[in-house]
Amino acid sequence: MALKLDYMVRETGTNLFRNLSLTIASILTVAVSLSLVGGSVLLRYSVDNATQQWQGGIEFIVFMQPEATQAQSDAVERQLTESTQVERFEYFDQERTFEEFKDLFQNTPQIVESVTPDILPPSFRVVPVDKSAETIESLRSVFVTQPGVREVVAAFDSIRTIRNLSNLIGVGLMVVAGFLLLAATLLILNSIRMAMFARRREIEVMKLVGASNWFIRIPFMLEGVFQGLIGSGFAIGVVFGVQRVFDNIAADQRFSLFSGLVVDNQQVMTTSVFVMVTGVLIGALGSAFAVSRFLDV
């Protein structure tokens, strides 16, 4: 078995170098396409983070005073329930608000430490039936005057713009990435096919003396997987780079609009693993196709 293992490694290595230019082309294509995939996943994460309070159609939030009485709170709740313009709403008590707060500011623990649940305002997250600016404005004016209400915040146009723009960019990146991934798979397929052609005499002899089918296939499969893996390595570097850029933008006061565009380490790790798995899959897919189509063992 030891002999087999070092045979496999040797063969895969020789193949990669024999075909250097095509190998580099495949690796670069994988790298570029997966960078786009990783970038768009991160963008999606960061926009979700930035607009966390505004998901699921929530268009405005009624913040209560932290010291508002239960009766005041009940009155607002009743009014929301009765209003025909409100589709549904959700109540965030102080504990839940604190959890969300910790989430939003997890990269700056000193802020989280300075806050306790009882100073945070409980709130109603409201989904209106009609999302037009006039409706929201009229609802706002009703609730802002209620006793115990601290303020009513409506989803800003800027948030909507960010959301729409990021959706657009995300879809665009994914489409381009999709085509590039297809190109990468085909390039890997072709480089494996070239490798098999270069070694056709050896393959013929191997079949003749009774090398098992997998023994012949595996070095070629490994070659494809390796190309995918190296390509995804580059892409993971890019993913970490994008996180840096987001952090820098977030820290820069001039771009306050984007201050929420941060991704946490967990999300970067998830994205990296996703990118790596995709790279390996592409390599395996391209080489598996080449092997099954052209090796005939």
Partner 1 sequence: MIKLENVTKTYKGDVPALRNADVEIAKGEFVFLVGASGSGKSTFLRLVNREERPEQGRIFVAGKDILELSSWKVPYLRRNIGSVFQDFKLLTGKTVYENVAFALEVIGRPKHVVKTQVPAILELVGLGGKMDSFPHELSGGEQQRVSVARAFVNRPLILLADEPTGNLDPATSVGIMRLLDRINRTGTTVLMATHDRSIVDTMRRRVIELDRGAIVRDQHRGVYE
Q: Does 71 bind partner 1 (CB under 8 A)?
A: no
Q: 58: which residues sit within 8 A by CB, 6+ positions away?
A: 90, 125, 126, 127, 155
In whole angstroms, the minimum distance from the beta carbon of 4 to partner 1 comes to 6
Q: Does 5 bind partner 1 (CB under 8 A)?
A: no
Which range, of 2-10, 57-65, 99-107, 250-258, touches partner 1 by CB under 8 A? 2-10
Q: Please, which of residues 184-203 interact with partner 1 by CB under 8 A?
A: 201-202
Q: Please, which of residues 202-261 interact with partner 1 by CB under 8 A?
A: 202, 204-213, 215-216
In whole angstroms, the minimum distance from the beta carbon of 18 to partner 1 comes to 11
In whole angstroms, the minimum distance from the beta carbon of 201 to partner 1 comes to 6
In whole angstroms, the minimum distance from the beta carbon of 6 to partner 1 comes to 10
In whole angstroms, the minimum distance from the beta carbon of 191 to partner 1 comes to 20
Binding site for partner 1 (CB under 8 A): 1, 3-4, 7, 201-202, 204-213, 215-216
